[in-house]
Amino acid sequence: MSTTAADQATQKLPFQGIGALLNNVKGDRWIWLIVILLSVISLLAVYSSTGTLAYKRGQANEFILMKHLFMIVGGLALMYFSHLLDYRYYAGISKLLMVITIPLLLYTLLFGNHVNDASRWISIPGTGLTFQTSDLAKLALITYLARTLSRKQENIKDVKQSFIPIMGSVCVVFILIALANLSTALMLFGVSILLLIIGRISIKQISVVCAAGAILLLGVVFLGPRRTTYISRVHAFMHPETANPDKSFQSDHAKIAIATGGVFGKGPGNSTERNYLPHPYSDFIYATIIEEYGLLGGFALVAIYLFLLYRCIKIVTAAPKAFGALLACGLSFSLTIQAFANMAVAVGLGPVTGVPLPLVSMGGTSILFTSVAFGIILSVSRDIDEPKKVVVGEIREVAA
């Protein structure tokens, strides 16, 4: 039976829609591939490690997986739309983000949801979802610093016009995050210092920022509301033989997971330590991955993040504008430093923190804001690729 032309056109419509969508995908194709690969790894790892969580909640494991899949798809959509927006618009958006971020951080400290003596989340009315304001703060501070450093290059060493606004924004955001989430604050502070170095801030002024950060850090550790937690975690890491077993419980079971995983792992879904680790689907998902996929799986994940950093560095070096280079640099270093901090904690190279593995750990706002960060990096990459296509097209016209 032959089909009519109208039927054939109808059958092609879905494929035409997919083709049109793929044609609109711009930027570094390797980064797109890395994001998709990390998303697949995340689905496998989260599905395997949420059995105990599903049991405690009285839900099916598949329900949690579908919810996580929904967040990943939402993140990919945000990444797609944010990469279509010219990255120059993010300079203006950064000012609005900073105006919103600081009051939100204050509100979170005073009225946020308290979990493990930390107030990091606020509830989104009518959705049942929670929002971690530090995720927004990372994006806001990095975009604001990139904007400020790129626009004040002519008077970058001027204390009143350049240094005080930069130092003030870094220190205010640092202290507001550090009171509830010291690990995130330290990583963001480190990324900020890297941006200051790349943005040609003088060593003397950077030293002042570091000194101010050190004073704030000591104040948070010894006088802050979570001082006992911070001190006990550092003590458990430095002296595990004398530490309280409750404080070293997570790191001990993470080490057991890695040790029993061996070279090739126990196989997907065969982890046993996922039943003991408090957060095998978020903070210690890397230990779960090694237990199931072995050292080969662990090294493969490290290689993926290293390759991501390599592709981002290529974008930074090729960016024609200072703002684009600083923006891509800050966001890429933030993502990779967070990834390696999470993996370092899982293998016992650092004290226990609550830092998720970007695009792999289960989480709501973390996945969404990470996807937006990737989208902005791809927007910078798109700006690099499009002039090349124009030049190639002009060469072909001349040759014709």
- The secondary structure of 297-328 as a DSSP string is HHHHHHHHHHHHHHHHHHHHHH-SSHHHHHHH
User: pLDDT value at position 13?
Assistant: 45
Q: Where are the alpha helices (DSSP H) in the chain?
A: 5-23, 29-49, 51-57, 61-84, 89-111, 133-151, 164-178, 182-198, 203-223, 227-238, 249-261, 285-318, 322-346, 365-399
CA-based nearest residue to 191, from 369, 35, 338, 87? 338
Contacts of 160 (CB under 8 A, 6+ apart): none
Q: How far apart are CA 384 and CA 240, in angstroms?
A: 50
User: pLDDT value at position 38?
Assistant: 95
User: pLDDT value at position 393?
Assistant: 45
Distances (CA, A) of 17 to 20, 21, 25: 5, 6, 13
Q: Do residues 124 and 107 make contact, with C-beta atoms less than 8 angstroms apart?
A: no
Contacts of 18 (CB under 8 A, 6+ apart): none
Helix/strand/coil for 131: strand
CA-based nearest residue to 44, from 294, 304, 278, 285? 285
Q: How many CB atoms lie within 10 A of CB 265?
A: 20
User: pLDDT value at position 392?
Assistant: 40
Q: Which residues of the chain have pLDDT under 50?
A: 1-3, 6, 8-15, 18, 390-400
